[in-house]
Every structure is written in C-alpha cells, then in structure tokens.
Structure 1
Amino acid sequence: MSHIKIANTEHDVLDLIKNRWSPRSFSDKVIPENDLHTILEAAGWAASANNEQPWQYYYASKGNDGFVQITESLFGGNKPWAQHADVLIVAVARKTFEANQTENGAAMHDLGMANAHLLLQASALNIYSHMMGGFDRVKISETLNLTENQLPVAIIALGYLDEAEKLEEPFKTRELTPRVRKPLSEFVFSKN
C-alpha cells in the first residue's frame, strides 16, 4: 500500500524525501527507546538563527497518562486515528531569545526546520510520522504547564505503518489516495 505514497517527482529528489508521507494507520509495534532518542536528536541538529535552538519537545508513549492527556487535546479529525500511534510529540517554539528576552522572529521557522529533521530521521528508521495542527493549544499548554513564552505549534504522531483497511472513513480513503503536490511553476519564481 505504501508504494502509492511514493512521491512521483519531476526532478531527482532524495528517496528519503520521496518516501516520507503522513499515514493515519499505525501498528501496535513499539518504537525502541534508542530510535526515539535518535529521532529527537536529529531535530536538535537543525539550523537556527543565532544557534538559539528555540525548539522544545514533550513526548509520551502509548499506555501512559501523558499520552492520554495529549490525545485529549486533539480535535475530532485527529483523535480517532492518532490515539493508535506509539508516541505523540508536542513541538513547542520558545518565542524569545534566551540572551536578551527579545522576540525571536525566526522561532517558528527554526522549529519547522527541526521538525523536518525529526520527520526525515524517523523515515530513515522506517518509522512513520504525521504532523497535526488540529489541537486545543490552550488545553495542551495547561497540560504541559507551558509559560507565555512557549507556543505549542504541532503534535506529531509516530509509529510503524499498519494497513489502511483498519481505518474508518474518511481516513481509509485518504490513506489509499496517491500523494500530489503543486508543480514548481506554482511556487517557484525566477527573478533573473
């Protein structure tokens, strides 16, 4: 089934990028702790403005209270399938620079870079990920005791791939639909 999710690219993109996609069907297989730490460390090696590294990750594994609390913050379109992931990670951006407490305008960008590293490292380990923006930010902030300087940006589901047939609609159809992206002509503009 995952072969239909391999990106059909116009140019010779890395296989690691072509093969990364966001499933909703996760198996019961547990991610080894060392692999999880490898995935999280990969995030830490992303580029960041002034080497600020404004990303923070809070995670919980299935079967723990923290996992249930993170799941409870998810909106209805994510909760039915995300509760079957092995790990849920909350990606948080620290909004100010540590040195002088001024606004870090690159914090969200830098967290995005770290998230991309995380997703690709997971893919390299044959662990699948699904980013979610559909969650209650106030609720998760309270659950994690975040400060005003911490912005929860995304929740990431991690796990091993399972069969699409175990999903209910509309998730099953989404799982079985080939990936598509806009062509370069729609988002790249030369000013030469």
Structure 2
Amino acid sequence: MLKKKMNKDYTPLKETPNDHPIIDVIKNRWSPRVFADMPVSQTDLQSMFEAGRWAASSNNFQPWNIVWGIKGSETYNRIMDLLVEFNQSWTVNAPVLMLGVINTKTPDGKENYHALHDLGQFSAHMALQAHSMGIAIHQMAGVDFEAAKKEFEFPDEYHVATAIAAGYYGGDDDQLNEDLKKEENAPRERKKQNEFLFNGNYVKRESL
C-alpha cells in the first residue's frame, strides 16, 4: 500500500520492471487516481505548460490547446461536468482538471493528421516536468468530447481529445472503491519490446 502522509518533495514510487536502463523521471512516473490534499499553484502549472510548449510538433504547427481549471473555480466545475460518471467518481479530489484539445487543420486549411501525435508529445513533456516536481497527471479518454467542444466554444475544426487530472502524489487510496484501490496498488506492466518492434515487415517480427 502506498504511503499516505506526504509532503511536496516526496513521490511514492512504484516498482517498474524495466528490461533496459531508462532515466529515473521516466521510470518513476505513474498515473494515480488519488492526490495529496495540497493545491497546485499557478506557478507550478506554468512550469508544466512551459515544458509542453517546447514539445516537438509537425512543421512546428503546435496544434495543442489546453483548457485548465483549479479546484473551486468555475472552469474546474465545467470540466468535471463533462467527464463520464466513472471518472467523476475519482477525480473529486484532483486539485486541477484540464482538457487537451487539438486543431485538426493546418494553417492553410489542410487536414493535420499528426495533431493527435503532437498533443501526445505535449502531454508527455508536461507529465515528465510535473513528475520532477512531485506532481502526477492522469489522462482520461472518458469525457464527452462533443459537449466539451460546445461548452468551451471551440470551432468545428477542433477536437477535444483528452481530459487530464493533476495533483501532488500521495493521496489516500482509502478514498477509492475496492476495485480501484486494488488497481491503484497493482504492479506496473507493459508489453515486451518484441510485441511492438519490427525490424522489417509486420509479419516478420524480430527481436533486437
């Protein structure tokens, strides 16, 4: 079980059974569903957003847009109302909620097929910066995308791709139901490299 008395400078670690060496900020980052009872300042958020700002993007179009709200604010409540019921059940203690939105068009009006990839780069940069500050982020697909676009008045060519909860590591997992509590404490796992690496055609899977 994770420790429950936390401070800003402590990050609870989960064992990561990596097969090859990786840097600690990647190895130790994970996505909890509980957060410490501690606000995230706008200064901290700006550092996280700045990390995302410097992510790579196709043709440097930077198609990402972030809607954010701090708990207690109107924007936070508006985002919360757009989450599916399952996500609302555990995000109630998240200090920050966000929406990740992409512009699906290039500046000259063509389809930007790389926009989702680029938002992913932004989110990954933000997640690693957040982790270095003791802050966790948990990305969610469970959001009413069309209602969110309408609620925040994005034009037709925009797509709300994800919701994100953020807060300091160290929440009390007793706030979760038994199924989520079990998941919160479950070992980390990922596919092995030979399940997704192809040194040639798809049918000729070869290990490194």
User: Which of 174, 195, 205 is the equivalent residue of 1:186?
Assistant: 195
Which stretches in structure 1 are left out of the alignment for 5+ residues? none
Q: Which of 129, 136, 140 does residue 132 from structure 1 map onto?
A: 140
1:30 to 31, 39, 62: 39
- For residue 149 of structure 2, the aligned residue among 130, 134, 141 is 141
Q: Which residue of 1 aligns with 2:168?
A: 160
Unpaired runs of 5+ residues, structure 2, are: 3-11, 201-205
Q: Distance in 2 between matches of 1:6 and 1:135?
A: 30
Task: Provide the residue aligned with 2:98 in structure 1.
Answer: 89
Instruction: Give the TM-score normalised by the residue count of structure 2.
Output: 0.88
Q: Please give the per-residue CA displacement for 1:121-147, whole angstroms capped at 9, x wherever unaligned.
A: 111111011000011112211211111
Q: 2:7: which partner in 1?
A: none
AA matched with 1:59: W
CA displacement at 1:42 relative to structure 2: 0.7
| Cα distance in 2 between the residues matched to 1:174 and 1:95 | 34
Q: Equivalent residue for 2:77?
A: 68
**Match of 2:178, SS?**
coil
Q: CA deviation at 1:25?
A: 0.7
- 4+ long deviations beyond 6 Å: none
Alignment deviations for residues 109-164 of structure 1 (CA, whole Å, 9 cap, x no partner): 11111111111111111101100001111221121111111110011100012121
Tell me if structure 2 keeps the 8 A contact 1:6–1:20.
no
* TM-score, length of structure 1 as denominator length: 0.95
Distance 1:144 1:82 in 2: 20
Q: CA RMSD in A?
A: 1.2
How many aligned residue pairs are there?
190
Q: Does structure 2 conserve the Cα–Cα contact (< 8 Å) formed by 1:90 and 1:155?
A: yes
SS in 2 for 1:142: helix
SS at match of 1:88: strand
Q: In the alignment, is the contact (CA less than 8 A) between 1:95 and 1:103 conserved in 2?
A: yes
Per the TM alignment, residue 169 of structure 1 is displaced from its structure 2 partner at its CA by 2.5
Deviations 1:151-188 (A, max 9, x none): 10011100012121222232111111111111111111
The equivalent of 2:131 in structure 1 is 123
Q: Please give the alpha-carbon distance, in whole angstroms, between the structure 2 residues aligned to 1:50 and 1:58.
A: 23
Equivalents in 2 of 1:97, 1:152: separation in Å?
A: 16
Match of 2:86 among 73, 77, 87: 77
Larger radius of gyration: 2
Q: Secondary structure at the match of 1:153?
A: strand
Tell me the residue number matched to 2:9. none
Q: In the alignment, which of 13, 22, 35 is matched to residue 22 of structure 2?
A: 13
Structure 2 distance, partners of 1:164, 1:126, is 17
Helix, strand or coil for the counterpart of 1:113? helix
Identity of aligned residues (%): 36
CA distance in 1: counterparts of 2:187 and 2:143, whole angstroms: 26
Secondary structure in 2 matching 1:78: helix
Q: Counterparts of 1:169 and 1:66 in 2: how far apart (Å)?
A: 30
